[in-house]
Amino acid sequence: MPQTTIYVAPRSPGSPDNPLSAVTTLELARLFGRSAALAGVSLRIEPGKTIALVGPNGAGKTTLLRILATAIRPSFGSAQVDGLDVAKDPERVRTRVAYLSHATGLYDDLTALENLRFAATMLDVPAAEIETRIGTALADVGLAAVAEARVVTFSAGMRKRLALGRLLLSPHSLLLLDEPHAALDEAGMALVDELLGRWREVGITVLVASHAVERLAPLVDGSVRLDGGLLAEISGTGVSHNPGRAHIGAPSMAGFDS
Amino acid sequence: MSELARNAGIALAIARKDALAELRGKHATTSTLFFAAIVLLLFGFALGPDSRKLTEAAPGLLWLAIVFAGLLAVGRLHLVETDDGALEQLALYPVDRRAIYAGKALSGLAAMLVLGGVLLPVVAILYGIDLAAAWLPLIVTLLLGAIGFAAVGTFYAGVTVRMRAREVMLPLLMLPVIAPLLLAAVKATTAALGGDPFGELTSWLQLLAGYDIVMLIAGAATYGFLLEE
């Protein structure tokens, strides 16, 4: 892969005594009906760190990522990105965060080029730079040759590559990746590894949920293991338990199924 | 770039994307137009060969056909967002929700204008109506009716897009709300075709314009909540 330009969003630095964490959650919980997908997770992630989010199916990994991406609201507790509350200030959070989910968010009837052009407009890429950035992104993810092909003709791996290309179009300070290696062949997985390395190099915070623990190990600074919606283990650097306490009178999670 | 210009750019990008998807799924566009034409033909059969009766009923039948086919069209414009998580991705872009609403409403308006543009001559041929004498008020009525329908349709298509029974729920929720639009559009069309002997055309058009403004404001103000899960 050519050394692509990685765009980085400027961060709010906080103060020298109290630098802002890239991600802060406090007693973060999300219920679906009476079932808690996330049951009170408190953690801090330092800026510029790449953190693996691991755990069995149903552990709450995707729910945590979706809350941080502002796709869903927390039921209880709080979550902040660069000091911005995801529930109170989602518009500003969206300017800093990009989310790669299981679904690619692509339009089948549009070509790869048209999908990225649409994304670039939505992401406020300067008009004069759109074509250049798209060309570079498509080359970086190995889809330049099929730029004019409709996405409906793409394999699952090609779709995932195109979704990865969308992440390269604009600056972000936090990337949330849900199983980025899934559906990819070995070359595709190597591409993800290389991108993770580049993002780490330029100081973008990355939270990556994956079952490919061994593959991720050399690419991350630390890891968080969730189990049953709870924080089970933290290891490595760049991530820590958030000891802050929820406000007195905050709704209790007691009594809900986990 | 001003916020207004940025929002206009977003709305146009969404409308352009929808138009591309719609044009490439030609079968859907053609089916909708055929459906509307068949509805008009069947109404004609139901009313019998009496040309006077057909002429009198033409405005109502035209707008019923536009409404039925329009329900299919606006529903489909949101269905494209169900492609592999596209709606969630759209919701996560750092853009003003009102711009997303405006883009989807613009797509709906374009679809409604195409429908109206095709169905008007079909009505003229099937029911023996002379459009030439009233073309301007007919175009204004069609435009105002299409704006109102797109404004309401975009909102309710957003409400129902995540529902399993969306094909049933969309008309069920939307038809009562567009009843005033249907009434005003039929009355305005009748007045336009009849030469407006009682001078009521302007009033009906004003009612349509007022309805459009209220629905556009309400839709833009509330559509963002529909994108939240």
Inspect the interface and report whether the beta carbons of B229 and A121 lie closer than 8 Å: no
Q: What is the ipTM of this complex?
A: 0.88
Which among A72, A109, A121 has CB closest to B20? A109
Given this model, what pLDDT does residue A16 score? 52
Q: Which residues in chain A touch residue B21, judged by CB atoms under 8 angstroms apart?
A: 107-110
Pick among B6, B7, B88, B92 to test the A interface (most A CBs inside 10 A): B92
Q: Which of B25, B39, B72 lies closest to B167, judged by CA?
A: B72
| Statement: residue A249 has pLDDT above 50 | no
Which among B6, B20, B84 has CB closest to A124? B6
- Residue A4's pLDDT band, with cuts at 50, 70 and 90, is low
The mean per-residue pLDDT over the stretch A231-237 comes to 93
The mean per-residue pLDDT over the stretch A133-147 comes to 96
- What is the Cα B213 distance to its own chain's centre? 15
Written as six digits, the tokens of A212 are 């490919």
DSSP one-letter code for A128: G
| Statement: residue A254 has pLDDT above 60 | no
Q: pLDDT > 90: what percent of chain A?
A: 81
Tell me the C-alpha to C-alpha distance, in Å, between residue B53 and each of A204, B41, B120.
71, 14, 18
| Statement: residue A247 has pLDDT above 50 | no
Given this model, what pLDDT does residue B164 score? 85
Q: Is residue A94 within 8 angstroms of chain B, CB to CB? A: yes
Given this model, what pLDDT does residue A9 score? 72
- Residue A245's pLDDT band, with cuts at 50, 70 and 90, is low
Residues in CB range of B65: below 8 A, 6 or more apart = B36, B37, B39, B40, B43, B119, B123
Given this model, what pLDDT does residue B60 score? 94
pLDDT tens across B130-139, in order? 888 889 999 9
Given this model, what pLDDT does residue B1 score? 62
- What is the Cα A106 distance to its own chain's centre? 17
The mean per-residue pLDDT over the stretch A134-150 comes to 96
The mean per-residue pLDDT over the stretch A30-48 comes to 93
Given this model, what pLDDT does residue A13 score? 57
Q: Tell me the three state secondary structure of residue A129.
A: helix
Inspect the interface and report whether the beta carbons of A103 and B84 lie closer than 8 Å: yes
Given this model, what pLDDT does residue A210 score? 93
In the 3-class helix/strand/coil scheme, how is chain B assigned residue by residue?
A: CCHHHHHHHHHHHHHHHHHHHHHHCHHHHHHHHHHHHHHHHHHHHHHCCCHHHHHHHHHHHHHHHHHHHHHHHHHHHHHHHHHHHHHHHHHHCCCCHHHHHHHHHHHHHHHHHHHHHHHHHHHHHHHCCCCHHHHHHHHHHHHHHHHHHHHHHHHHHHHHCCCCCHHHHHHHHHHHHCHHHHHHHHHHHHHHHCCCCCCCHHHHHHHHHHHHHHHHHHHHHHHHHHHCC
Given this model, what pLDDT does residue B2 score? 86
Inspect the interface and report whether the beta carbons of B91 and A104 lie closer than 8 Å: no
Given this model, what pLDDT does residue A256 score? 44
pLDDT tens across B87-112, in order? 999 999 999 999 999 999 999 999 99
Q: Is residue B98 within 8 angstroms of chain A, CB to CB? A: no
Looking from the CA of A222 toward its CB, the CA atoms found within 13 Å total 18
Which residue stretches of chain B have pLDDT < 50?
none
pLDDT tens across A61-87, in order? 999 999 999 999 999 999 999 999 999
| Statement: residue A233 has pLDDT above 50 | yes
- B positions 36-75 inside 8 Å of A (CB): none
Inspect the interface and report whether the beta carbons of A105 and B88 lie closer than 8 Å: yes
Size of interface A-B (CB pairs under 8 A): 74
Which among A71, A119, A123 has CB closest to B88? A71
| Statement: residue A18 has pLDDT above 60 | no
